[in-house]
Amino acid sequence: MKFTFEGHHMIGKLDHGDLAISGDKREGFCPYELFVSSLVGCSGILLNKILNKKRLPFKKIELEAVVDNNEEKANQIKKVAIIAYIRTNQSISVEQAEKISRLVVKNCGMIQSVNNSIETSFSIKILE
């Protein structure tokens, strides 16, 4: 990956295309958004794979991130709670959902990369 400053924002040259990064939301994504998106994206993709591998059909997955910052310490991220809302016709037990949540946390490279410095959690809520 290569990154170049252009004016007031940075452009990342990535395999899928260019990514504008800026502290000004009008000029690109802010680093905070990208950071949280990497945690949600990684865990969401992994959740999708696990559900498919276990042959647990679903109609839709929506993910939400609840972030707690330390404003006194450069707005440092202290905690990220990721909640996956799974819409399905098939019932998934609480035990299954908890087991899948543990698998996601254990195998998500982005969550594991920050696990010692940021409190992270992943939970599943089933919507029928």
Give the residues across from 61 on adjacent strands: 86
Res 43: pLDDT:
98
In a domain, 17, yes or no: no
Distance CA 79, CA 36 (A): 11
Number of domains in the chain: 1
pLDDT, greater one: 122 or 23: 122
Q: What is the pTM of this model?
A: 0.90
Distance CA 86, CA 3 (A): 36
Residues 6+ apart with CB under 8 A from 100: 47, 50, 51, 54, 92, 124
Distance CA 82, CA 119 (A): 11
Domain span at 61: 31-127
Res 62: pLDDT:
98
- Section 75-98 average pLDDT: 93
Q: At 74, is the pLDDT very low, low, confident or very high (cuts 50, 70, 90)?
A: confident
Q: What is the pLDDT of residues 94-119, one digit of tens each?
A: 999 999 999 999 999 999 999 999 99
In a domain, 38, yes or no: yes
DSSP label of 105 = H
In a domain, 112, yes or no: yes
In a domain, 25, yes or no: no
Report the CATH number at residue 111: 3.30.300.20
In a domain, 75, yes or no: yes
